[in-house]
Chain A
Amino acid sequence: MSTFLNLLVYGLADGAILALAALGFVLIYKATGVINFAQGEFLLVGAYMFYTAFVVLRLPLVLAVVFGVVVATLLGVVIERLILRPMVGESAISIIMVTIGLSMLLQALVQMFYGTSPKSQPALLPRQSVSFLGATVPLNRLLVIGIAAVVLTAFTVFFRWSRHGIAMRAVADDQQAAMTMGISVRRIFAMAWALAAVSALVAGVLLGDISAVDRNLASFGLLVFPVVILGGLDSVPGTIVGGLTMGLLSQYVSGYLDPGLATVIPYVVLVLILLVRPYGIFGETRIERV
């Protein structure tokens, strides 16, 4: 039972971070129709930016977070402007490849500036563990779940009720109609990338804190695909359900069966979902049939 609970907490923590990473992915896909293969690199860059502010520049925590958010926003906007905007209207293959190129470039830049060895960063979240229903679970994982829940709620509220959020949903729904209502589609595109970078920053910092700030953070990016396919490519609640499911699934497979198997199980699930219900649980059934 205690193993079960332990894995539950670990799985939920992983899942919460995955949901944050997937949220950025879904934002971009929903608003701009771009599949972003560089989402993992956004996590990586976010974690390193925070590291730079917090450890290298010795800024206080709050300022470091602000610094990270500002850099992530700029990064998102610049990438959208310089790389994705010229690609509007190109084929899916080209757009996928441009984000793959972007991911290689970002990863190489991080490696150039920070090297390959893991960076040590003082713990942001308390490292001690708490007893909970007979199991000892690490406190920081619980906090990760809490923080991710807060951020995800904030994003949901933003989409639901804020002016910009509603504009974003309008663009996602129908670009031309949104344009006739006076919404600047370009600004919305830029905002989608900026918000995706910010949510990836939060995910990256949290992941960096519970594991380590190193290059492996980017490998989390590919796990976004099983999550979003399960939840639905264009669904924000889908990312939460998908993220938690994938996090729990990986942790339970890794805990009870085989840690190696846990790395591939999400992809097996992905293939099964694509065969049965390609638009996922909450996705819009807009898939083209041939």
Chain B
Amino acid sequence: MRTVAATATGIHHRSYTSELRLRATRSEYFRLALLAVVLLVVPFALGNYWLSIVNTIFIAVIGAVGLNILVGYTGQISLGQGGFLAVGAYSSAILSDRIGVPVPLSILFAVALTAVVGTFFGLPGLRLKGLYLAIATLASQQIIEFIIRRDYGGVLTQGKGYINVDRLEFLGFKIGARAVFEQQWYWILMPLAVLVVLAARNIFRTGLGRSFMAVRDQDIAAEAIGVNLTRAKLTAFAVSSGFVGLAGALTAHYSEVVTWEKFTLEVSILYLAMIIVGGLGSVAGAVYGAVFMTLLPVLIRNVANAVEGSVPFLADQLPAIQNAAFGAIIIAFLIFEPRGLDRIWQRMKDYIRFWPFRY
């Protein structure tokens, strides 16, 4: 069996409240403060190009945390992430641009709608498990993708095939031109991502979150100890899709254009890869995975550009190499570290904590 992570010395919980605390040691508070400083400094330290990548990461974090609630914590595999992102993106874009609903409201509506759609597609999950559920969600992905691609009667895009979304504007505030665009978005996306991470962490300190985990670990036993399976599964689908819908809506407003190509099966797979690389069933893991999988193609591209003169092969084959790396990383993580980056980080901390001893 795997070893359990070490606990810091000198921590004695005397009440349930203290045991439930997210942070107990001084070093944990120190790391939190460090992270906060980094998050506050980043928008001033980075240029527009890297800020745009950071912003993409924040959206990916929201989507990945949402997916991990469903897949990692509740054990319901979903290949329909792309479709759910699409629901969020299209509904918020249409509401705000065509009907004139203020953007914050349209995003809220998109979240609610995606939660409803997610619950609907979660219905097969009540009867199906594991691979059957995977196939059912694959079908729902293909069906949603077909609907947005075909766009019968031009309901979604008015026959253009894409939606141009106006620059974000709410309560008299409007996102500025290119020079400040990324920075302003940073101040919108960063707090949202932080909120989502906090919300997810807290869900799993409540009875509801615990019931999700019980369903994952042993559904029949969960039922026996009084977890309402139907309710737990459907709530998991709803909560998870809600987060995903938020990510979708933010994609729409941030990238200012909505097309079906952004919501294909590959996107579903990308998000699954994020939570597997990061660590299934861990909020922090979803964050690491989102960062890692967003940076990976960027880094490969930068390396390829840097060595373009000496190794032209790399630059020519860039998309293929990115995909190959992507596939290879999924396989490597599943075989060598199924609990992902989160577990690697945990081991690194343990190593330092125990040093100079091995264990």
Chain A residues 62-90 with CB under 8 Å of chain B are 83, 86-87, 90
Tell whether B295 is near chain A: CB-to-CB under 8 Å: no
Tell whether B324 is near chain A: CB-to-CB under 8 Å: yes
Tell whether B29 is near chain A: CB-to-CB under 8 Å: no
Contacts of A98 in B (CB 8 A): 330-331, 334-335
**Residues of A in contact with B, size category:** 35 or more
B328 near A274 (CB under 8 angstroms)? Answer: no
Tell whether A288 is near chain B: CB-to-CB under 8 Å: yes
Bound-state Cα–Cα, A289 to B220, Å = 9
Choose among B75, B127, B135, B150 the residue that contacts A229 (Cβ–Cβ < 8 A): B135
B323 near A108 (CB under 8 angstroms)? Answer: yes
A108 near B320 (CB under 8 angstroms)? Answer: yes
A87 near B146 (CB under 8 angstroms)? Answer: no
Contacts of B319 in A (CB 8 A): 111
A287 near B323 (CB under 8 angstroms)? Answer: no
Check A225/B330 contact, CB under 8 A, given A93-B71, A287-B132: no
Tell whether A268 is near chain B: CB-to-CB under 8 Å: yes
Tell whether B143 is near chain A: CB-to-CB under 8 Å: yes
Task: State how many angstroms separate the Cβ of A48 from the closest Cβ of chain B.
Answer: 14
Task: State how many angstroms separate the Cβ of A59 from the closest Cβ of chain B.
Answer: 26
Tell whether B181 is near chain A: CB-to-CB under 8 Å: no
Bound-state Cα–Cα, A27 to B272, Å = 26
Check A112/B320 contact, CB under 8 A, given A225-B138, A287-B132: yes
A267 near B139 (CB under 8 angstroms)? Answer: yes
> A269-283 CB contact bits vs B (8 Å, 1 = yes)?
011001100100000
Chain B residues 140-198 with CB under 8 Å of chain A are 140, 142-143, 146, 150
Contacts of A222 in B (CB 8 A): 138, 142, 265
A112 near B324 (CB under 8 angstroms)? Answer: yes
Cβ-closest chain A residue relative to B138: A225
> A93-110 CB contact bits vs B (8 Å, 1 = yes)?
110111011111111110
Task: State how many angstroms separate the Cβ of B129 from the closest Cβ of chain A.
Answer: 6
Tell whether B326 is near chain A: CB-to-CB under 8 Å: yes
Tell whether A167 is near chain B: CB-to-CB under 8 Å: no
Cβ-closest chain A residue relative to B324: A108
Contacts of B323 in A (CB 8 A): 104-105, 107-108, 111
B140 near A274 (CB under 8 angstroms)? Answer: no
Contacts of B138 in A (CB 8 A): 222, 225, 267
Cβ-closest chain B residue relative to A225: B135
Contacts of B132 in A (CB 8 A): 274, 278, 287
Choose among B77, B150, B321 the residue that contacts A108 (Cβ–Cβ < 8 A): B321
A92 near B77 (CB under 8 angstroms)? Answer: yes
Contacts of A289 in B (CB 8 A): 127
Choose among A90, A93, A111, A274 the residue that contacts B128 (Cβ–Cβ < 8 A): A274
Contacts of A111 in B (CB 8 A): 317, 319-320, 323
Chain B residues 330-351 with CB under 8 Å of chain A are 330-331, 334-335, 338
Task: State how many angstroms separate the Cβ of B219 from the closest Cβ of chain A.
Answer: 5
Task: State how many angstroms separate the Cβ of B147 from the closest Cβ of chain A.
Answer: 8
Task: State how many angstroms separate the Cβ of B52 from the closest Cβ of chain A.
Answer: 25
A290 near B334 (CB under 8 angstroms)? Answer: no
Bound-state Cα–Cα, A204 to B276, Å = 31
A112 near B317 (CB under 8 angstroms)? Answer: yes
Bound-state Cα–Cα, A163 to B335, Å = 33
Bound-state Cα–Cα, A96 to B137, Å = 13
Tell whether B6 is near chain A: CB-to-CB under 8 Å: no
Task: State how many angstroms separate the Cβ of B204 from the closest Cβ of chain A.
Answer: 18
A104 near B324 (CB under 8 angstroms)? Answer: yes
Check A260/B150 contact, CB under 8 A, given A92-B134, A108-B323, A271-B143: yes
Tell whether B308 is near chain A: CB-to-CB under 8 Å: no
Contacts of B140 in A (CB 8 A): 271
A-B pairs with beta carbons under 8 Å apart, 6 shown: A93-B134, A94-B334, A98-B330, A106-B327, A109-B324, A225-B138
